[in-house]
Structure 1
Amino acid sequence: MLKFFKKDEKIRCGVVGTGSLGQHHARIYAGMKGVDFAGIYEANPERAKEISALHNCRAFSSLDELADACDAVSVVVPTDKHAQVALPLLAKGCHLLIEKPLCASLEEASQVLAAAQSNNCLVQVGHVEHFNPVMSFLEKEINRPGYITTERLGTYQTRGTEVGVVLDLMIHDIGIVLALVKSPILKIDAMGINILSKTEDIANARIEFENGCVANLSASRLSLKRNREIRVFQENAYLSLDFMNQKGHLVKKSDIIAYGLKMKVGLAKAGDVSSIPVIDIPIEKGEPLALELSSFVSSVREAKQPKVGAALGKTALEVAITITEQIRAKAEKMK
């Protein structure tokens, strides 16, 4: 049985790994109501000293010490170290938020899932875009998408290159698409290329679902600009949204029909798209990571399954690995 916490009882939280992303987990926990920020475990002694001083928290000398002091822990280390860090924490009974992707392999993901179950621990996977206010709008408006396109571009940096761009960036959009379409996958066709890394830096995947929906996902970590956009087409509307700037617009089928009627009676001219109402979407902006950590703490407090649990995280990982394997198989044929 999962432990139930009293309403006013603080959840003791910690962070493993305080690099470019982990430092923000520490910052948010340190200022979060209802949380007692126990401290961090960081392999780099100088970094550990810096972050612990910044947030007036303890820098633990081992994972065991951190686990003993925490109810919940964020695991923010390189992907290939996720299982290595998560398994001993789960054995100590800690609930975990593991940054995406869940693990580097399905075998490791299965081990983490089994350990979580046997130790009555929650595991949330850090698919942070699921907590972006843009996703909240999509979840309300999208009921039967027919075609989805996503584009996720990032500038090159060495962080994250222990895996390819599919596991590094595209997996965000894989998780989003799976949540919106809610249908088994029929077919995947992918391609990609590595330029600066040992693994793919640019990738494209076309996913066909059993319900007829098609999603076209593109990702690159060699762009001169950053971009995170999604376009969704369904029978009654077209939506274009920007995850990074938390804005977008909507065109409704009913408004297009009204435009056609205006053309018939001479109130609009062909090609005069200004007559079609394009609705700016009112999105209440918020920091996705703060919303994600708040949701995680609430799940721990209320002993409820997280919005992005380990099962969804494993499914997204399975799709990402299938895409990656296709890319690498095609690359081998070209040699």
Structure 2
Amino acid sequence: MTLLPSKRIRCGVAGVGSLGQHHARIYAELPDAELVGIYESSDARAAEICAKYGCRRFESLDALGAACEAVSVVVPTDRHAEVALPLLAQGAHLLIEKPLCATLDEAQRVLAAAQRGGCLVQVGHVEHFNPVMEFLEKQVSHPQYITAERLAPYQPRGTEVGVVLDLMIHDIGIVLALVKSPVRRIDSVGVTVLSKKEDIANARIEFENGCVANLSASRLSTKRQREIRLFQSDAYLSLDFMNQEGHLLEKRDLLAYGAKVKLGLVKAGELGEIPVKQIPIEKGEPLALEIAHFVESVRRAREPKVGAVLGTHALEVAIEITEQIQKAGG
């Protein structure tokens, strides 16, 4: 692949529903992108988006792929391969919403097609572009124990897959990126309540380097929550991906505080009990940051931050968790 000229990248969106409409909005706003058009099955939604952003509705995926250099695939997970393959055949670089595909076989077909055509594939693990993740990547060096909880109210959209592929896969991708070690063992449980697949799930993942991650996800909650806690030898971190805030307790600060208590310079609790630091996080829209990164990756012909390797690895772990739950009758 060669570096594209310094011009706006011609972009499109396949599927402008609940999430896809925001892909269209962001492409229309980016100075380095031109929203050429969309592919959408709903006449009403297609007319709405085209009128709003002055773009064209394409009648086929082949036509969209031929007109665009970069396309977002924002359709239900079980249709990712069906939509991605015709676009790749036209030479379009793709941002495929997470998970990469519904099965590993489909993922391998998509990635093989991308390799044949010299196309980039970025997987939409949007939390990797959350400012919280940027802080974690700088601060976390050797995590030993991680807990993550991701809760959402029930909605029919996304129930073509279970909660592991719908929600937990976000945290699977985050943990894999932070731990950087092969998985040694996975133990999972799950419960089916309203949909045909698991709606609540918990997975305990052991890594070869000794780190353990405990992930919980539910799409039957009365509230939304996306939180992670990490422990390593020199620090404890607690962060909120949704509100983009958190706090940090460093061992050196705790030791200094303990020394002051021991010397009688302060009374225990006088400095706020534990010297916790609020983390200064510059807030931003993760989806906008993700799409801007995709456009720049296409322009520079470089591998995106969340490419085929991480996307496939996260899918492998998610499918293993899902299969364990299914075998247990969850």
TM-score (norm 1): 0.97
Give 1:273 deviation, angstroms.
7.1
Judged with a 3 Å threshold, the aligned counterparts in structure 2 of structure 1 residues 295 and 168 are, in CA distance, closer, same or farther, namely same
Alignment correspondent of 1:33: 31
Distance 1:282 1:70 in 2: 39
The answer on 1:276 being equivalent to 2:279 is no
Contact 1:259 1:275 in 2 (8 A): no
1:274 is displaced (CA, Å) by: 1.2
Per-residue deviation, 1:270: 4.6
Q: One-letter code of the match for 1:61?
A: E
Report 1:236-251 matches (<5 A): 236-251=234-249
| Aligned with 1:50 (options 41, 45, 48) | 48
Structure-1 residue corresponding to 2:196: 198
Alignment: residue pair count: 330
How many Å separate the matches in 1 of 2:227 and 2:188? Answer: 19
CA distance in 2, matches of 1:241, 1:211: 23
AA aligned to 1:215 is: A
Counterpart Cα distance in 2 of 1:275 and 1:327: 42
Question: 1:101: how far off?
Answer: 0.2
CA distance in 2, matches of 1:151, 1:257: 30
* Alignment counterpart, residue 254 of structure 1, candidates 248, 252, 260: 252
Partner amino acid for 2:45? R
What secondary structure sits across from 2:213 in the alignment?
strand
Mark the runs of 5 or more structure 2 residues left unpaired by the alignment. none
Encode CA deviations 1:115-165: one digit per residue, 9 max, x unaligned: 000000000000000000000000000000000000000010000000000
Cα offset, 1:46, TM superposition: 1.3
Give the letter for the 2:4 counterpart: F
**Matching of residues 29-178 of structure 1 within 5 Å:** 29-178=27-176
The residue number in structure 2 matching 1:5 is 4
Distance (whole Å) between structure 2 residues aligned to residue 112 and residue 228 of structure 1: 30
2:169, 2:71 → 1: CA distance? 22
Structure 1 residues 255-264 or 149-158, which shifts more? 255-264
Map 1:280-319; keep pairs closer than 5 Å. Answer: 280-319=278-317
Identical-residue share of aligned pairs (%):
70
2 CA distance for matches of 1:60 and 1:40? 6
Following superposition, the deviation at residue 38 of structure 1 comes to: 0.3
Structure 1 residue 67: deviation in Å?
1.1
Decide whether the 8 Å contact of 1:153 with 1:222 is kept in 2.
Answer: yes
Q: Can you give the 5+ residue segments of structure 1 that lack an aligned partner in the other structure?
A: none
- Could you tell me which amino acid in structure 2 is paired with residue 324 of structure 1? T
Instruction: After superposition, give the CA deviation of every residue in 1:163-188 in whole Å (9 maximum; x if it has no partner).
Output: 00000000000000000000001110
Contact 1:10 1:34 in 2 (8 A): yes
Q: How big is the alpha-carbon RMSD for the aligned residues of Structure 1 and Structure 2? A: 1.1
1:202 to 1:261, Cα distance in 2 relative to 1, 3 A = same
Which residue number in structure 2 is paired with residue 23 of structure 1? 21
Deviation at 1:34? 1.3
Change (3 A) 1:37 1:229: same
What CA distance in whole angstroms lies between the structure 1 residues aligned with 2:158 and 2:328?
A: 23
- Residue 258 of structure 1 and its aligned partner are, at CA, apart by 1.2
For 1:106 and 1:271, the matched residues in 2 are separated by 53
Whether the aligned pair in 2 keeps the contact of 1:268 and 1:275 (CA below 8 Å) is: no
Q: Which amino acid aligns with 1:130?
A: H
Note the alpha carbon deviations across 1:209-238, whole angstroms, 9 max, x for none.
Answer: 010100000000000000000001001100
Does the Cα contact within 8 Å between 1:175 and 1:312 map onto a contact in 2? yes
- Structure 1 residue 266: deviation in Å? 2.2
Q: Which amino acid aligns with 1:93?
A: G
When the two structures are superposed, what TM-score results if normalisation uses the length of structure 2? 0.98
Distance in 2 (CA, whole Å) between partners of 1:168 and 1:215 is: 19
Give 1:246 deviation, angstroms: 0.4
Aligned to 1:189: 187
SS at match of 1:204: strand
Paired with 1:115 and 1:300, the residues of 2 have a C-alpha distance of 17
